[in-house]
Amino acid sequence: MKSNQQKQEQKQNSEAIIIRGGTIATLGEHNKVLRDHALIIECGKVQKIIPEKELFEGNFLSQEYSEIWSQITILNASGKVVMPGFINAHMHFYSSFARGLIKADPSKNFSEVLTNLWWRLDRKLSAEDNYLSAMVALIDAIKKGTTTLIDHHASPFSAKGSLFEIAKAVKESGLRASLCYELSDRDGEKVAQNGIQENLDFMKWVQSGQEGDQLRALFGMHASFTIEDKTLKSAVEQARALDHKCGFHIHCAEDLSDQEITQKKFGVRVVERLERAGILGPTTICGHAIHLNDHEMDLLRKSDTIVVHNPQSNMNNSVGVANTLKLLEKGILVGLGTDAMTVNMLEELRSAVWVQRLFQKHPNVAFIESYNLLINNNRQIANRFWTNTPLGELKVGAAADVVLIDYDPPTTMDESNFAGHLIFGLAESTVDTTIANGKIVMKSKELLGLDSESIMAHSREVANKLWNRF
């Protein structure tokens, strides 16, 4: 039984939620598919998963919850699957305002995609753009059941304070996110120094613990080919001085041009350069990792560096297909991200399966491996940053990041075939309710605490101003 003090703290800090009537998929290392069970949430964490009949046996509810009965929310999950919120391991919130933009010149390769679209857009971003583009993406994430996002931001002429604007949106949304600023020399030394300072300032703020468990910080870098040796050395030294375990977040060999330019300018391959600079390690994310040789893969494995696969973006930009099967065979921790193509992680999962089968020219590969990228590997990745409370699974003590998805399986669904139901059934279904850190942020498909209509109207006004500056 809880002490009076604990009960009072619960009253002040978090609502209590009981989810009953649905099918619970716990995920985690040993997934369990549970029917006729109830999930009980208190203080932002999973407190119990019990057979529903126990709710009413021995006067359980009155014994355990009599002090807070008026605060308990009971959710009926009948016809729904109850599972952990999804994790997106590589995202760009600022890309929200590129949707519908038709002013960019046509591009025939990835280098032109960067110069004609993304680098033109990010140079025009203001503090207001940074905040609103993040809010738009976070609202969409709530609707798609994505509760944790690892973001990578760029706004070279509004770098100062940019991560704090995004953090403001994250706090208001109720979701959790890891943020970083994209260091690059492409806009000159002063802008690069501003990028270093923004990373350091935000890291210090997050490490102070003032904002609780919602936010994390990495040191962001664009890519090897846009960062000079002097800048790279300075950034790593300052980051390590602040935190010797500091992790980095960088695009890695996304396009062949990254390898070609890096070898021409610096005399080494991309991962070799990152390794020599001291960037690799268990809290560093290398996004994409498409154009790698065996030696580079071995360096990633030996350093326990994270790789994040972004299949839809890679197809869209025609940069190639990461050989996820080989990366996994090497023992590298490979997760799944969207690179801002979507926040719908199940859509990205399906794409990961199809493109790998096409790449491998084999119709019977990459199924469970792609499932693991999202369900198991993203969980491991997130838990390297959020070390206080387990994410990505439903068990006692884990974070209460929970989604309820409309799904009444037409065939038997259990632990042995849950992956098939996820990829071919749940991925086509609708998220009904999203809970983040024990707080209901969407219930019965309606956002709570955010005025989506007002935010989207404001977003359109601000985006139009940005497009006029483009």
β-pair partners for 73: 17
pLDDT band for position 209 (cuts 50, 70, 90): confident
Query: Cα(121)–Cα(239) distance, rounded to whole angstroms?
Result: 28
pLDDT for the residue 70 = 56
pLDDT over 50 at 423, yes or no: yes
pLDDT for the residue 210 = 79
Topology, domain 86-385? TIM Barrel (3.20.20)
Contact 25, 421 (CB under 8 A): no
Task: For residue 10, give both structure tokens.
Answer: 């619960």
Contact 278, 236 (CB under 8 A): yes
Encode pLDDT of 108-127 as tens digits.
Answer: 999 999 999 999 999 999 99
pLDDT over 80 at 103, yes or no: yes
Query: Cα(325)–Cα(307) distance, rounded to whole angstroms?
Result: 12
pLDDT for the residue 65 = 54
Average pLDDT for the chain = 94
pLDDT over 70 at 63, yes or no: no
pLDDT band for position 374 (cuts 50, 70, 90): very high
pLDDT over 70 at 331, yes or no: yes
E strand residue ranges, 271-399: 285-288, 306-309, 333-336
Query: Cα(304)–Cα(25) distance, rounded to whole angstroms?
Result: 29
Contact 439, 147 (CB under 8 A): no
pLDDT for the residue 98 = 97
Task: Please state the rounded mean pLDDT for residues 358-366.
Answer: 97
pLDDT for the residue 211 = 74
Query: Cα(278)–Cα(328) distance, rounded to whole angstroms?
Result: 23
Query: Cα(301)–Cα(2) distance, rounded to whole angstroms?
Result: 45
pLDDT for the residue 212 = 81
Contact 137, 91 (CB under 8 A): yes
Same fold, 4-84+396-444 and 86-385: no
pLDDT band for position 67 (cuts 50, 70, 90): low
pLDDT for the residue 59 = 52
Residue with the bigger pLDDT between 213 and 428: it is 428
Task: Please state the rounded mean pLDDT for residues 403-426.
Answer: 98
pLDDT for the residue 6 = 41
Q: Exposed (0-12), middle (13-18) or buried (19+): which is 131, by Cβ within 10 Å?
A: buried
Instruction: List the one residue out of 10, 15, 22 whose CA is nearest residue 403.
Output: 22
pLDDT above 70: percentage of residues in the chain: 94
Encode pLDDT of 248-295 as tens digits.
Answer: 999 999 999 999 999 999 999 999 999 999 999 999 999 999 999 999
pLDDT for the residue 48 = 95
pLDDT for the residue 441 = 98
CATH superfamily placement of domain 4-84+396-444? Urease, subunit C, domain 1 (2.30.40.10)
Residue ranges of the domains in the chain? 4-84+396-444, 86-385
pLDDT for the residue 3 = 43
Encode pLDDT of 9-42 as tens digits.
Answer: 444 445 799 999 999 999 999 999 999 999 999 9
